[in-house]
Amino acid sequence: MGRFNRESFIIRDKDVLRDDYQPENLEERDEELDEYAATLRPVIQGWQPNNVFLYGVTGVGKTAATHDLINELRESAEQYDDVNLNVIELNCTGCTTSYQVAVNLVNEIREPSHPLTSVSSSRSAMSETGYQQKRIFNELYSDLEDIGGTILIVLDEIDNIGSDDDILYELPRARSQLDLDVKLGVIGISNDFKFRDNLSPKVKDTLCEEEILFPPYDADELQNILSQRAEIALHDGVLDGDVIPLCAAFSAADSGSARQALRLLRKAADVAENEAMSGGKAQVTEEHVREAEHQIQRQQVVEGMHSLTRHGQYVLLTVCQLAARGETPERTKLIYEQYQQVVKSYASDPLKRRRVHDHLSDLSLHGILELMDSSSDRGNYNEYELDVSLSSALDALENELGNLDHVREVAEENSLLD
């Protein structure tokens, strides 16, 4: 039989395990959905919408809840002749300024591309550069007034704009300040807790009229979510009893993200499927979950290393050597001292300490290292440790730096090789 066929021993419908799959009901979010629905209820009354700010780590249901409730709200609004509800949705990934958000909102109105957007315009899209911000804002306000009625603007991942939050001040005030003939509400969604804290006071007063926290899922909640998906996605009887609890435990201990837990279960099913196609048992086991976790973390390191120079790799190897000896988390000063020895073993010249600090920061941003703020009698300082398994990091480094068995041997002697 050829390499490509529809035979499947484990997986019935893999798409159900993807994070963009929309289940009929959003599990384990009843309390948040009720609170969210209450903030949207003025729309049905024909009143001015609330401005709502949703926050929580990635993968905890903020966007899915928004899609579910907005669609339900639209269906309800159609029953009332005096409610003309329109929605504009924008994912702000790649938008680092208020200017970029504004011009992308204009273009979303004129060339819709997001699932919630329910408006369209015959006007031409605008270039993302070459205009003054005032011109872009005026174009946006003109388009909003042309749409009329009640308008909800959903700004997903709005934390990408950082400190340039003018758009979050101007939009909620547009109706009162510019006498726009619309009832305008803004829904901001953020994965970054610090973004909310760093908003200017004037923005907090307007955007954060209603705030809803989506907390991380705990292990029991993740088990329920995975069980619901697995029942549809996988063939009957292929899951060992400890698979879903282990996937849930890994994710709950890390981020509490359903997205992460689903990815792990999906990868474990892939590993088991490949074995079954080669004559193995059609069963997903704890070993498959652990292998999936290793592969995911290894890929995370590989992807993060794409942006590293050779010295960035030396810095990561340095932390791996310290981890193998059980000496992490460790302070930047001592990491730098060890780094100098590593560089010397590769017949290279070390960078200045500041540059090594920059590489540590880059590795932290890519989720390979964890930065820990610590303090002592001498003041505050930074410590770093691996945020992936040691074996995953070493596997990825060996592709670039060659054999690292000497590090593995030290880790094994200390019972630290996962």
What's the fold here for domain 30-213? Rossmann fold (3.40.50)
Contact 28, 66 (CB under 8 A): no
Task: List the one residue out of 10, 2, 7, 1 whose CA is nearest residue 270.
Answer: 10
DSSP line for 2-57:
-S-----SSBS-GGGGSTT---SS-TT-HHHHHHHHHHHHHHHTTSPPPPEEEE--
Parallel, antiparallel or unpaired: strands 210-213 and 85-91: unpaired
Q: Which helix (H) or strand (E) holds 117?
A: none
Asked if the 307-413 domain carries CATH number 3.90.1150.10, the reply is no
What pLDDT is attached to residue 183? 94
Residue 181 has pLDDT above 90, yes or no: no
Domain boundaries, the chain: 30-213, 218-303, 307-413
pLDDT band at 404 (very low <50, low <70, confident <90, very high): very high
Higher per-residue confidence, 307 vs 112: 112
Question: What CA–CA distance (Å, rounded) separates 136 from 128?
Answer: 10
Residue 289's nearest CA partner among 307, 311, 271 is: 271
In 3-state terms, what secondary structure has residue 376?
A: strand
pLDDT digits (tens, 9 = 90+) for 196-247: 788 888 888 877 789 999 999 999 999 999 999 999 999 999 999 999 999 9
Compare 105 and 179 and report the one with higher pLDDT. 105
pLDDT score at 221: 96
Please report, for the chain, how many H helices and E strands are present, in that order. 16, 8
What is the per-residue pLDDT across 39-49, written as a single tens digit (0 to 9) for each? 999 999 999 99
Tokens encoding 353: 């300490």
Specify the pLDDT at position 52: 94
Tell me what pLDDT residue 209 has: 84
Average pLDDT over residues 24-41: 94
Predicted confidence at residue 376, as pLDDT, reads: 62
144-151 mean pLDDT:
94
Q: pLDDT band at residue 377, thresholds of 50, 70 and 90? A: low
Share of the chain above pLDDT 90, in %: 74
pLDDT reading at 107 higher than 80:
yes
On the question of pLDDT at 86 being above 60, the answer is yes
Cα gap 294→395, rounded to integer Å: 10
**Does 1.10.287.130 match the CATH number of domain 218-303?**
no
Report helix angle 332-345 to 353-365, nearest 10: 100
